[in-house]
Amino acid sequence: MRILLVEDEVRLAAEVARFLRDSGMAVDLAAEGIDALHLAQTEPYDAIVLDLGLPGMDGLSVLKTLRGRSVNTAVLILTARDRFADKAAGFRAGADDYLTKPFQLEELLLRLQALVRRAAGHARPEIRIGPIALDTTTGVATLDEMPVRLTALERRVLTYLMLHPGRTISRTELSEHIYENDQDRDFNSLEVIVSRLRKKFGRTRIETSRGEGYRLTDETT
């Protein structure tokens, strides 16, 4: 999962980003509305956390502009504005969720996970593909009910493949959802991560379509 965090309070942004990264997400930061607008239109985020009070272009204008340009990414507004009128304006501008400051980091995480899961068409927090199960709220993966230890990047790759089973995911798409903006997007290291996942979950589980990408399958052969 890759998140765009739009927040102009530097310390809060750093704290939230650290927590989300520790929870397995890739996080890009924007401190100004205009930067958020640019990033949200050029990078395929799984969700956007949007502050309303921003220097220059405010969060509500960012959201309205994005929705006007058919950017459908899930948006959670995170703001100190707790009046009903502000909440209503947020939802009417196209927000998917609204959380007021002060807030618990864990609640933000749970809400984001639910948004991303639902956007991918899943209602249950646990996703099962054949003998593989992934609890999307804890990141715990099991094979035949036995826990499997994963690195942060392995978990991100597995999560993305589990959210989109049966579909061939191109290397470009996969790397766009697991790496942050300033990280090297290297297909060779992606191949290494996938081969480690194959060792842990079975060689045939993750198919490679030559030149196309990867597909998680529940076929047993």
- Interatomic CA distance for residues 19 and 88, integer angstroms: 28
C-beta of 24 vs 33, nearer to Ca ion: 33
| Interface stretch with Ca ion, choices 42-50, 51-59, 84-92, 123-131 (CB under 5 A) | 51-59
What are the phi and psi torsion angles at 32 (to 5°)?
Answer: -130, 150
- Interatomic CA distance for residues 99 and 105, integer angstroms: 11
Name the DSSP letter for residue 32: S
C-beta of 8 vs 43, nearer to Ca ion: 8
The residue sitting closest to Ca ion, measured at its beta carbon, is 53
Nearest-approach distance from CB 109 to Ca ion, in angstroms: 20
Residue numbers 2-31 binding Ca ion by CB under 5 A? 8
Site string for Ca ion, 53-72 (x = CB under 5 A): x-------------------
- Interatomic CA distance for residues 40 and 71, integer angstroms: 8
How far is CA 158 from each of CA 12, 66, 125, 191, rounded to the nearest angstrom? 29, 29, 15, 13
Report the residue from 28, 35, 46, 51 that binds Ca ion according to the rule CB under 5 A.
Answer: 51
Nearest-approach distance from CB 100 to Ca ion, in angstroms: 13
Helix (H, G, I), strand (E, B) or coil at 141: strand
Count of chain residues binding Ca ion (CB under 5 A) = 3
Nearest-approach distance from CB 97 to Ca ion, in angstroms: 18
- Quickly list H helices, 23-136: 33-42, 59-68, 84-92, 105-119
**By CB under 5 A, is residue 86 in contact with Ca ion?**
no
Residues that bind Ca ion (CB under 5 A): 8, 51, 53
